[in-house]
Amino acid sequence: MTAAQSALLGVIQGLTEFLPVSSSGHLVLAQKFFGFREVHVLVDALLHMGTLLAVLVYFRSDIKAILLGPDRRLAGLLVLGSLPAAIVGLTLKHYIEAAFTSVPIVSAMLLLTGAVLALGDWKSRRPLKRRGLQKARAMDAVGVGLAQAAAIMPGLSRSGSTIVAGIWLNLEPEAAARFSFLLAVPAVLGASALELVSSGAGARPPVSVMAVGMASAFVVGMLAIATLLKVLREGRLRAFSYYCFALGTISLLAYYLL
């Protein structure tokens, strides 16, 4: 792997991890249709660490409040919201891994993501009294956590599913996004730790090459977070639904016709 390839992977990771278009779905389709080789597990872990660092830096004030105690309630909600994905990931691991080899499943999940985003966009435009993150409840954490658990399926966007779940639970769109991104921290930490442990002692890309990928994932991830928050403020979530509809349809047709 070259530094340029690592940088490109970082850009893709940074964009698709936070924009509601499914990073896992893009990875499966890229491997199937463009011959991308499976990324070394250590590279994948460091790319995820780059996007995790973006969340930690962008939401540093929220995380500081959680770690230092003033916002322990939010910490409890994040723990509660993390449980469904942990349970699903551990109990259905083999079934989920099988889905990563199926283009039809990924395509169907992308179409579902498009529908979820369209519904979220519609709901966000309703004249309802919405709550900020400081008024989030245990039921909100469970609902968003269940959406995150469902999004373990490749092609179903984690950020899109969790943000829309928050919107349907009457959280403000930006509050739903903040909770979604903070909820990603324990999920990414756990997944990256497992990848690092399983990376073994075999041949690895040079450290400098992996560092380039991690850095690009961090920078692009910061920009992607800012972009999505801006889209939510302006009420333009539907734009991503069009993209998911198009990609899901094209990949499904390509799979059966080519």
| Per-residue model confidence as pLDDT tens digits over 174-223 | 999 999 999 988 878 877 776 666 655 556 677 888 899 899 999 999 99
- With H, G, I as helix, E, B as strand and everything else as coil, classify residue 131: strand
**Measured between alpha carbons, how far is 103 from 248 in angstroms, rounded to an integer?**
9
* Model pLDDT for residues 64-99, shown as the tens digit of each residue: 888 887 778 899 999 999 999 889 888 887 778 777
DSSP state of 171: B
Domain that holds residue 190: 3-257
In single-letter form, the type of residue at position 108 comes to: A
Q: How many domains does the chain have?
A: 1
Contacts of 233 (CB under 8 A, 6+ apart): 173, 174
In one letter, which amino acid is 176? A
DSSP per-residue string spanning 213-224:
HHHHHHHHHHHH
- pTM, two decimals, is 0.90
Read off the DSSP letter of residue 9.
H
pLDDT tens for each residue of 28-59? 888 788 766 666 677 778 888 899 999 999 99
